[in-house]
Amino acid sequence: MSLGKILIAEDDNDINHLISDVLTREGYTVTQAFSGTEAKLYWNSETFDLLLCDLMLPGMTGEELVAEITAKQTAAIIVISAKNTVMDKVDLLKLGASDYMTKPFDIEELLARVEVQLRKERSVSGDEDDALIWNGLSLSEDRYSAQVDGVDIRLTAREFGILQLLLSNPSKVFTKENIFASVWGETEFIDENTVNVHMSNIRGKLGKVAPDREFVETIWGIGFKMKN
């Protein structure tokens, strides 16, 4: 279950792999490019939801890549660059970039900005599905958002995927293997503690808003389901 396809255009090997590893862990499908020319080839041959783009790229600069893409289509693009003057930012935003982050950057901030851009893209697309609702918990698959009694809940991509799976069939008991295979996209189930930790985080976040309610029920020895 992928939360979106993201293309990374970054020639620094360490930064590229760091971003890729974190986004993949969060549930995104990631393609890595290490030059502007390579990124252009990927962008023209596949469909992506978002581009993360450095500026000082070999082969084709980030400015040239952004200009070529935005001349043909509206696209979600976050520039990540060591260029940090106001004019650098203004020029790229005018060129068509959606957002601009300067290096060094905080990976949690990048994740938040990625979520914002993808949420905007889904909103602009106009594709609307009914929200998944259960006992005051509302999960919007299109806006990638969650609420309890109208109060926004900030979820990670994995947490959202788990709730999305449970709410897709509230009366069904999902094993930890089911959850891991669906949300992580992995067929080999290695560590059940991974699912337990994410489930604990979900309960903690929901419990802060509605401490009197239990949304997810543990079926001991089997797995989890939505609580009636």
> 226 has which bridge partners?
216
How large is the C-alpha radius of gyration of the chain? 19
Q: What pLDDT does residue 201 have?
A: 93
The phi, psi pair for 30, rounded to 5°, reads -120, 135
Band the pLDDT of 33: cuts 50, 70, 90: very high
CA dihedral 101→102→105→111, nearest 10 degrees, is 10
Distance CA 90, CA 84 (A): 10
Comparing C-alpha atoms, which of 40, 22, 20 is closest to residue 30? 20
What confidence tens digit (pLDDT) does each residue in 139-171 have?
887 666 788 888 888 888 888 889 989 988 888
Report whether pLDDT(69) > 80: yes
The phi, psi pair for 9, rounded to 5°, reads -115, 100
Mean predicted confidence (pLDDT) in 106-129: 75
Mean predicted confidence (pLDDT) in 195-221: 92
Comparing C-alpha atoms, which of 105, 71, 78 is closest to residue 92? 78
Band the pLDDT of 128: cuts 50, 70, 90: very low
CATH 1.10.10.10 fits 132-226, yes or no: yes
Distance CA 34, CA 23 (A): 17
Which pair of tokens denotes residue 222? 């089997």
Q: Where are the domains of the chain?
A: 5-125, 132-226
Band the pLDDT of 192: cuts 50, 70, 90: confident
Q: Which CATH fold would you assign to the domain 5-125?
A: Rossmann fold (3.40.50)
Q: Strand 174-175's sheet: what is its strand order?
A: 174-175, 223-226, 216-219
Question: Do residues 145 and 203 touch, judged by C-beta distance below 8 A?
Answer: no
**Which residues, 6+ apart, have CB-to-CB distance to 10 below 8 Å?**
16, 19, 32, 33, 34, 52, 53, 54, 57, 80
**Which residues, 6+ apart, have CB-to-CB distance to 66 below 8 Å?**
53, 77, 79, 92, 95, 96, 97
Distance CA 109, CA 80 (A): 12
Which amino acid makes up residue 201? N
Mean predicted confidence (pLDDT) in 182-187: 79
Supply the pTM of this predicted model: 0.59
What confidence tens digit (pLDDT) does each residue in 103-116 have?
999 999 999 899 88
Band the pLDDT of 81: cuts 50, 70, 90: very high
Report whether pLDDT(77) > 90: yes
Comparing C-alpha atoms, which of 141, 85, 97, 144 is closest to residue 118? 144
Band the pLDDT of 122: cuts 50, 70, 90: low
Band the pLDDT of 123: cuts 50, 70, 90: low
Q: What pLDDT does residue 91 have?
A: 92
Please count the other Cβ atoms lying within 10 Å of the Cβ belonging to residue 127. 9
